[in-house]
Structure 1
Amino acid sequence: MSKSIPEIYGSLVFNDKVMREKLPKDIYKALRKTIENNTHLELDVANSVAVAMKEWAVEHGATHYTHWFQPMTGFTAEKHDSFISPVGDGQIIMDFSGKELVKGEPDASSFPSGGLRATFEARGYTAWDPTSPAFIKDGTLYIPTAFCSYSGEALDKKTPLLRSMETLNTEAVKILQLLGNKDVTSVSTTIGPEQEYFLVDKALYEQRKDLIFTGRTLFGAMSPKGQEMEDHYFGALKPRVSAYMHDLDEELWKLGIPAKTKHNEVAPAQHELAPIFDTANVAVDHNQLTMEVMKKVADKHGLVCLLHEKPFDGINGSGKHNNWSMITNTGVNLLEPGRTPAENAQFLIFLMAVIKAVDDYADLLRISVASAGNDHRLGANEAPPAIISIFLGDELTAVLDSIENDTFFGKHPLVQMDTGATVLPHFFKDNTDRNRTSPFAFTGNKFEFRSLGSSSSVAGPNIILNTAVAEALRQFYGELKAFPEDQMDEAVRALVKRAILKHKKVIFNGNGYSDEWVQEAEKRGLYNLKSTPDALPYFIHEKNIDLFTSHHIFSKEEIFSRYEILLETYSKTIHIEAKTMEDMVRRDFLPALMTYTDEVAASISAKKAVLATLPCTAQEKLLTTLSGYYEAIYTAEEKLEADLATAEGMTDQPALSLFYHETILPDMDAVRSTVDAAETYIPDSILPYPNYEKLLFSV
């Protein structure tokens, strides 16, 4: 790297430093006012910004611009237009107007809409999000935008996220000012999404139809070695992986993405990248961009980056940990306990708002991480269980116990670690341990929502979290607003006590993987929504519709559209997997199995032709085994084919999703278990695809 990190960091971003340099002072101030106060941006300001943005982009080699948005596909979308504008006599100028900056017109009917848009209702709009900086990638100026239909419905993930951030800001400021913090005028939610992923050799990837079409291996016997030696986690980076991570960091830093931590994860070929916290909508944009850049950089290294939640059976899958907090415009983290959390009324109010939100809307939080891919890992001793609960740790649990029981809380003294080796430095241990089995864990001054799948957008979980916490704060404000200032501390403590008594059932500090917890959670009345079809119907329950509509996050029509999209996406995902499995069985695996069976049969015949009395017991046993596998696979595949035909004739989406979960997935498991067993007998020279050993240990 010829330039230093500070020199390259944000070099391809139209950030605040660039805006100060390129914009007239009055225009810069007007744009900052829009960004900081969520005020409307006038067209004359947009025109000035567009000119400066275009000049800066052209200086950096950009020839096109695109409105970059996040439709309900779960991916990003972009349509590229050049800056050229004809001026006559065969000449052009590079031009970009404020109108082009603030509004685009993609086709709204070609993206998932859940019935909001018919095919003939094609017009949609993208609208510039000035709070998320524009950037340059591959010679194009990318402008982060929201996406809506001609009739105004949100067709993306950004619009409701921005709405949820605004409603949380409103409710948080109201209660902070009620508590005497008159200098607080805004509250932002911040997130830091950790990203897990796998790297596999590109040449091997291209020989696997399942990886190409579905992102995960539909077949594959486990290699002799997996993750059981626990030697890959935090292990030394292999040269090829280290080179990839180095280039990835540099590309992310250019785009202003604060990539901070990188390391090997638990499973072989698995790794993790973690950024520094950022404002929620910027962090969501950055995570979407990170996933794109990860794949692009991998290709340059002859690798493929796998973001599926469960690309390999028998080893850990990949998640995405959503670290979430709230920060005031004065720089205060509202989830910072301070030295005396038991006496910190402000902290206790916001802590209890989160606890209440998680308890009241655990079903929505579960839905926010629900997908066909994530169903494979939740509760599989590699990810938190499907039961949503909160880990607080010993100290905060003791604080809440003391409030509940009206007892004195004696702060736990700092404990110096004694490692037994005098040469090692002295340090104090944290007040509480971590709990990696908890879906929603307090980790010092933030909550870590650990249930997200690695391929999903982090917008959905944060929309739910922001809105649910805003609702809790709204209710708390309603209970406290009548009390005078001299009674406020007592009123807050009484409110916190009531909230503890009502919502402590969602707090659990123990082993989330244990059978005992499943039984205990049921006694407590907590949801255990094990699969996506189990969870999705709760999205349209009355209490959840009321939450979204009362805070103007979604209209009722937008709620039902998303429900339809989630159902369809689940069914389509499994349908593609099942069709891919059929194709691989018929055209690849069964012919390979037959080839090897024929070779074994021919070997037996050749031996007996030479000498009829030569022993062939082992070969005959192998031949019988292979023939048995062939028949079993063929029979299982026939059932899968018949059930798929049934599914293709169904039109009721909730029933269809259940059919895919309860019938098609077990069919696929039956095919896979037999194929995987047969795979262990087939030589690599005949096996029609690279096995796990090659995929997991070749990089």
Structure 2
Amino acid sequence: MAQSIPELYGSLVFNDKIMREKLPKDMYKALKKTIENGTHLELDVANSVAVAMKEWALEHGATHYTHWFQPMTNFTAEKHDSFISPTVDGQVIMDFSGKELVKGEPDASSFPSGGLRATFEARGYTAWDPTSPAFIKDRTLYIPTAFCSYSGEALDKKTPLLRSMDTLNKEAVKVLRLLGNTEVKHINTTVGPEQEYFLVDKDLYNKRKDLIFCGRTLIGAPAPKGQEMEDHYFGTLKPRVSAYMHDLDEELWKLGIPAKTKHNEVAPAQHELAPVFDTTNVAVDHNQLTMEIMKKVAAKHNMVCLLHEKPFEGINGSGKHNNWSMSTDTGVNLLDPGKTPAENTQFLVFLVAVIKAVDDYADLLRISVASAGNDHRLGANEAPPAVVSIFLGDELTEVLKAIENDEFFAGHSAVQMDIGAKVLPHFVKDNTDRNRTSPFAFTGNKFEFRMLGSSSSVANPNIILNTAVAESLRQFYEKLKDVPADEMESAVHELLKQTIIDHKRVIFNGNGYTDEWLEEAKKRGLYNLVSTPDALPHFIDEKNEKLLTSHHIFTDAELHSRYEIKMENYVKTLHIEANTLVEIIQKDLLPSITTYMEKLAQTASLKKSVVPGISVSAEASLLSRLTELAETMTKDLETLKADTAMAEYEVDKDLLKSAKLYQSVVLTDMEKVRVSADAAEALIPDSILPYPTYGKLLFSISD
């Protein structure tokens, strides 16, 4: 009999239930203390955990273990070691020590370091993160870890994320104490990242060099049908896609990943998966695993999962919505307004802290989602604009206005929705609508940061969000710490009032897609950092450097290394795309144009030989048009080659200049080449085209 879902869920995770069963009681308590309070893990506890982990892993068929970490690549990394340990009699035993659990030593020389490490400085360390459960995948025990260099610099995304979580916890608890809340001992940030993706047939994918090398199509004429009928969104799942989603759910559930929601997205062949909230570092680990397993399960169904932000021109790209909140160890969501948000001082303090953080560090939030892929998506009518603003909804906006103006907020009683048909149930309307155009929207008891790209790590924006909110709370604490208890209520009101006045410019409840909003945002003094090269230099602005170093999220060297890595990644991405486009045009498309023109010429010649004087104007017109397109394409291709070489020449001299050349010149050249290529593609029969068209890619999965 097949396992039930409760039996299946977490069956490959070394979770709390397994630890209670496998560990001696005193060792279990010591480990829980480390996990919950961040206390130091003693070696005897580590040894006990290692033995229990090994026994459990062997029971599930594991032969190896790996320290699983997240270098600065948006991917994960792993080095596998077997459990075997040779004995003097030529046999082996299965062994795993606390030292091996706690620390690993992978080669660090070939991971991005932004100048933190020289190639010959190879040693790196991985350190166990006991707050994220170990799991089994492919007969290997995976141990989530942080990754640092021999000299202690963070070379990963997890270390600064954990630092940011600690920082927010510290500052939030201090503010809660001032507000009279003495029960809370710990604050966790929680995240639920919704994941959008495309599925295409694997056989078709293998015929597209641009998808293979770049993750997105560099050329491609529009299909006769796209998303204009709006019939794919929430539509019936096709059997092949449904089977994939079913298998994906099972694989995720085994690993304790709470996959909850699945549906068709707006674009054809586009879909979404959303999990239940989890503690931020666990949610980040889970999202990295989710992206990996999505691809693996797709291969089993002879499909490919595309996670690029804009794999197809002319239809919606894919994002990742970061649903973020703060929860106490007493089970309270600090961003839950309750039934009377105007009277909920605790909620209002934390709400206003977030508003201040987003306004003060909007540039950092934009930078946290900056990538070559996401630049294609932000600002189009499918994703938020590059301007960071906050949607609060009418009621909360009115609450803040009342505080600002020292007015009493009368509020609105709950409105019952009557939707017309008597057979349908009535329900109470939410106090906010959904604004799909807002980059940062309050959605009832959380904020939804909607600017993330589909392929990006969730760690980056949460590092910034946690730290920026922590800084707001730190400043609130400094202003309130010496206020007498009998004056605290008045002082909090004045703090809220002044913060609202200072930062209300970032609140916008309207349509973020309009040109009018971009003009209004400019008047308000909000950033509009359209491209990655526009945004990244602000990463090392004085105010941003002060924020991230003063809270010990990054050292100065770690901060500058990440700037270098992000800029290098942008340049390398566009360099690969430019080279791929050159190869596709030269080796594939132009030869196919020549082949078709030969067929046209032969047809015209044959017609005239059979019927002298017959019209061949159709063939001649096509020949002329294709010749014109081929010549334009060839000319534009030479310009692209020259400009790519020019941009690449600047890489070692001035990385920012190189990035701007790629953004303003090379990308423009690529678009010019594409115009001719797409026009030619529309004239050439599918049987002669060297790659499958958009129509085939987007609508091939039909059974």
TM-score range, shorter chain: over 0.9
Q: 1:534 is paired with a residue of what secondary structure?
A: helix
What is the CA distance between 1:647 and its match in structure 2?
2.1
**1:688 aligned residue:** 690
1:421-570 aligned at under 5 Å gives the runs: 421-570=421-570
1:168-187 aligned at under 5 Å gives the runs: 168-187=168-187
1:284-683 aligned at under 5 Å gives the runs: 284-650=284-650, 651=652, 652-683=654-685
**1:163 aligned residue:** 163
What is the CA distance between 1:343 and its match in structure 2?
1.2
Q: Residue deviations 1:580-630, cap 9 Å, x none?
A: 101100100000011001111111111122233101111111110111111
The answer as to 2:87 corresponding to 1:91 is no
Q: Which whole-Å CA distance do the structure 2 matches of 1:511 and 1:123 have between them?
A: 51
Q: Which whole-Å CA distance do the structure 1 matches of 2:2 and 2:313 have between them?
A: 42
What is the CA distance between 1:673 and its match in structure 2?
1.2
Q: Which whole-Å CA distance do the structure 2 matches of 1:557 and 1:113 have between them?
A: 10
What is the CA distance between 1:417 and its match in structure 2?
1.3
- Contact 1:216/1:308, CA 8 A, preserved across alignment: yes
Q: 2:78 is paired with a residue of what secondary structure?
A: coil
Letter in 2 for 1:458: V
**1:123 aligned residue:** 123
- Contact 2:647/2:659, CA 8 A, preserved across alignment: no
Q: 1:675 is paired with a residue of what secondary structure?
A: helix
Q: Which whole-Å CA distance do the structure 2 matches of 1:436 and 1:526 have between them?
A: 20
- Contact 1:412/1:431, CA 8 A, preserved across alignment: no
Letter in 1 for 2:673: V
What is the CA distance between 1:648 and its match in structure 2?
2.5
1:7-86 aligned at under 5 Å gives the runs: 7-86=7-86
Q: Which whole-Å CA distance do the structure 2 matches of 1:187 and 1:487 have between them?
A: 26
Q: 1:373 is paired with a residue of what secondary structure?
A: helix
- Contact 2:147/2:159, CA 8 A, preserved across alignment: yes
1:200-215 aligned at under 5 Å gives the runs: 200-215=200-215
Q: 2:452 is paired with a residue of what secondary structure?
A: strand
Q: Residue deviations 1:510-529, cap 9 Å, x none?
A: 00011110000000000000
Q: 1:655 is paired with a residue of what secondary structure?
A: helix
Q: Which whole-Å CA distance do the structure 1 matches of 2:168 and 2:532 have between them?
A: 27
Q: 1:260 is paired with a residue of what secondary structure?
A: strand
Letter in 2 for 1:667: D
Q: 1:441 is paired with a residue of what secondary structure?
A: strand
**1:112 aligned residue:** 112
Deviates more, 1:406-415 or 1:201-210: 406-415
Q: Which whole-Å CA distance do the structure 2 matches of 1:179 and 1:416 have between them?
A: 34
Q: Which whole-Å CA distance do the structure 2 matches of 1:222 and 1:120 have between them?
A: 49
Q: 1:645 is paired with a residue of what secondary structure?
A: helix
Q: Which whole-Å CA distance do the structure 2 matches of 1:379 and 1:611 have between them?
A: 57
What is the CA distance between 1:431 and its match in structure 2?
1.6
Q: Residue deviations 1:237-292, cap 9 Å, x none?
A: 00000000000000000000000000000000000000000000000000000000
Q: Which whole-Å CA distance do the structure 2 matches of 1:180 and 1:261 have between them?
A: 38
What is the CA distance between 1:488 and its match in structure 2?
1.2
Q: Residue deviations 1:302-361, cap 9 Å, x none?
A: 110000000000000000000000000111100011111111111111001000000000
- Contact 2:533/2:656, CA 8 A, preserved across alignment: yes
Letter in 2 for 1:578: A
Q: Which whole-Å CA distance do the structure 2 matches of 1:170 and 1:237 have between them?
A: 46
Q: Residue deviations 1:500-559, cap 9 Å, x none?
A: 000000000000011110000000000000000000000000000100111000000001
Q: Which whole-Å CA distance do the structure 1 matches of 2:202 and 2:664 have between them?
A: 34
Q: Which whole-Å CA distance do the structure 2 matches of 1:289 and 1:522 have between them?
A: 40
Output the TM-score relative to the length of structure 1.
0.99
Q: Which whole-Å CA distance do the structure 2 matches of 1:2 and 1:316 have between them?
A: 39
RMSD of aligned alpha carbons? 0.7
Q: Which whole-Å CA distance do the structure 1 matches of 2:146 and 2:420 have between them?
A: 57
Q: Which whole-Å CA distance do the structure 2 matches of 1:382 and 1:154 have between them?
A: 35
Q: Residue deviations 1:558-596, cap 9 Å, x none?
A: 010000000000000000011110110010000001100
Q: Which whole-Å CA distance do the structure 1 matches of 2:324 and 2:645 have between them?
A: 44
Q: Which whole-Å CA distance do the structure 2 matches of 1:402 and 1:314 have between them?
A: 44
- Contact 1:268/1:697, CA 8 A, preserved across alignment: yes
What is the CA distance between 1:35 and its match in structure 2?
0.3
What is the CA distance between 1:694 and its match in structure 2?
0.5
Aligned residue pairs total 699
Q: Which whole-Å CA distance do the structure 2 matches of 1:62 and 1:484 have between them?
A: 60
**1:6 aligned residue:** 6
Q: 1:624 is paired with a residue of what secondary structure?
A: helix
Q: Residue deviations 1:44-102, cap 9 Å, x none?
A: 11011000000000000000000000000110000000000001222000000001000
Q: 1:266 is paired with a residue of what secondary structure?
A: coil
- Contact 2:416/2:427, CA 8 A, preserved across alignment: yes
Letter in 2 for 1:174: K
1:126-141 aligned at under 5 Å gives the runs: 126-141=126-141
For structure 1, the residue ranges without an aligned partner over 5 or more in a row are none
Q: Which whole-Å CA distance do the structure 2 matches of 1:555 and 1:89 have between them?
A: 50
Q: Which whole-Å CA distance do the structure 1 matches of 2:164 and 2:432 have between them?
A: 31
Q: 2:109 is paired with a residue of what secondary structure?
A: helix
Q: 1:108 is paired with a residue of what secondary structure?
A: coil
- Contact 1:574/1:660, CA 8 A, preserved across alignment: yes
What is the percentage of aligned positions where both structures have the same residue?
A: 76
Q: 1:683 is paired with a residue of what secondary structure?
A: coil
Q: Which whole-Å CA distance do the structure 2 matches of 1:378 and 1:461 have between them?
A: 15
Q: Which whole-Å CA distance do the structure 1 matches of 2:139 and 2:506 have between them?
A: 50
**1:265 aligned residue:** 265
Q: 1:451 is paired with a residue of what secondary structure?
A: coil
Q: Which whole-Å CA distance do the structure 1 matches of 2:649 and 2:495 have between them?
A: 54
Q: Which whole-Å CA distance do the structure 2 matches of 1:420 and 1:528 have between them?
A: 43
Q: Which whole-Å CA distance do the structure 1 matches of 2:178 and 2:419 have between them?
A: 47
Letter in 1 for 2:176: L
- Contact 1:219/1:675, CA 8 A, preserved across alignment: yes
For structure 2, the residue ranges without an aligned partner over 5 or more in a row are none
Output the TM-score relative to the length of structure 2.
0.99
- Contact 1:65/1:141, CA 8 A, preserved across alignment: yes
What is the CA distance between 1:377 and its match in structure 2?
0.4
